Amino acid sequence: MKKSLSFARKVWLHGGVLLLLLSPWKTQAWAEDVQQGLSAAEFRRGAGIGAALIAIVLLILVEFVFRKKLSRGTYYLMLLIGLFLLPALTLMNATSLLFEETETVHSCASCHTMTPFVNDLRNPQSTTLAAKHYTNKWIADHQCYTCHTSYGVHGTLQAKLDGMRHWWRYVTGTWKEPIEYKGTYPNANCLGCHGGTPKFVEQAIHQAQIEDLAADRISCLTCHGPPHPPPDARAAAQ
C-alpha cells in the first residue's frame, strides 16, 4: 500500500508539472522567454501534440503496466488526466490555433473562392482600397480579417459564423457568381482606424458629415471605393 501511494505521488507530481508547462495561459511567456526562435503558434502546436501523445502513453501505462500497483482512487485519477485533462489542453490549443489561422490572408485565400480578391489585394498596381491598405502597410497583418470584422466580441463571433457559412458554401459548391457582399459595410470599421487622425479631421466634408458617417447614413465607400475589383475586372486578377 505504501509503494502504491509513493508511486501515485510521483505520478501526480510529474503530472502537475506537465500540466503547468502545457497550460495555455503560460504559452505566450514560454514562447517568448524559453523557446529558441519559436513563435507562440508553433509552441502551442507542439504543446497540443505533446499533450495528446503524453495522454496516450499515460493511458497505456496505467491500463497495461501499472494497473495492479495503483489503488482504485489513483487509477481513476490517472484516467481522468489521460482521458479529459490532457485532451482538454490539446483541444484548447487547437481551437486557439484555428481561430488565429482564420485571421490570416492565407486562410482566406485557401478555403474561400477568393483568388481574384487576394490577387488584387497583393497587386501593387491596383487602386482598390484593399490593395492600397495592403501595399502601403496601413494594416500590418491580417488585412482581410481586420476590415471584415466589426469591433467587439459580437463582431468577432459574427465573423466566425460568417466564416463557417463561407466554408459550407465552398465545400458544397453552392456559392453564386459573382460573389457579392451580404448586408451593408459598417463605417465603424473605417472610423476605428481613420477617425480622429489629422488627415481625417482636416477634411471639411468629414466634419460636416461625421454624424451621418457614425450612424451609417452615408457610407465611406461612396467616396473612397471600390474596396475590391468589380465582377468584370476579377477575371484579370485570377
> What is the per-residue pLDDT for 126?
92
Contact 222, 209 (CB under 8 A): no
- Residue 99 confidence (pLDDT) above 90: no
Find out whether the peptide bond into 226 is cis, omega within 30 degrees of 0: yes
Last residue of a domain, one of 101, 121, 145: 101
Quick one: 89 and 146 in the same domain?
no
Quick one: 112 and 25 in the same domain?
no
Quick one: 13 and 84 in the same domain?
yes
Quick one: 79 and 168 in the same domain?
no
Residue 81 CA to residue 85 CA, distance in Å, equals 5
Mean per-residue pLDDT of the chain: 79
- Residue 92 confidence (pLDDT) above 80: yes
Contact 199, 80 (CB under 8 A): no
Q: Give the model confidence (pLDDT) of 122-135 as tens digits.
A: 999 999 999 999 99
Quick one: 95 and 117 in the same domain?
no
Quick one: 218 and 114 in the same domain?
yes
> What is the per-residue pLDDT for 154?
61
Quick one: 96 and 113 in the same domain?
no
Full DSSP string of 67-134 = GGGS-HHHHHHHHHIIIIIHHHHHHHHHHHHHHHHTTSHHHHHHHSS-HHHHHHHT-TT--SHHHHHH
- 91-109 average pLDDT score: 83
Last residue of a domain, one of 101, 127, 152: 101
Residue 22 CA to residue 184 CA, distance in Å, equals 43
Quick one: 89 and 142 in the same domain?
no
Last residue of a domain, one of 79, 101, 123: 101
Q: Please tell me the total count of domains within the chain.
A: 2
> What is the per-residue pLDDT for 199?
92
- CB count within 10 Å of CB 181 equals 9
* Confidence category of residue 1, pLDDT binned at 50, 70, 90: very low
> What is the per-residue pLDDT for 24?
45
- Residue 74 confidence (pLDDT) above 70: yes
**Which residue in the block uniquely carries the three cell numbers 491598405?**
133
> What is the per-residue pLDDT for 145?
86
Domain range for residue 147? 107-237
Quick one: 77 and 118 in the same domain?
no
Q: Give the model confidence (pLDDT) of 189-233 as tens digits.
A: 899 899 989 999 999 999 999 999 999 999 999 899 899 988 877
pTM above 0.85, yes or no: no
Range from 35-39, 55-59, 145-149 carrying the lowest mean pLDDT: 35-39
> What is the per-residue pLDDT for 50?
86
Residue 187 CA to residue 215 CA, distance in Å, equals 8
Burial of 69 (0-12, 13-18, 19+ CB in 10 A): middle
> What is the per-residue pLDDT for 15?
53
- 77-95 average pLDDT score: 88
Residue 80 CA to residue 20 CA, distance in Å, equals 16
Quick one: 192 and 226 in the same domain?
yes
Residue 128 CA to residue 131 CA, distance in Å, equals 5
Quick one: 37 and 80 in the same domain?
yes
Helical axes 40-64 vs 72-80, angle rounded to 10°: 150
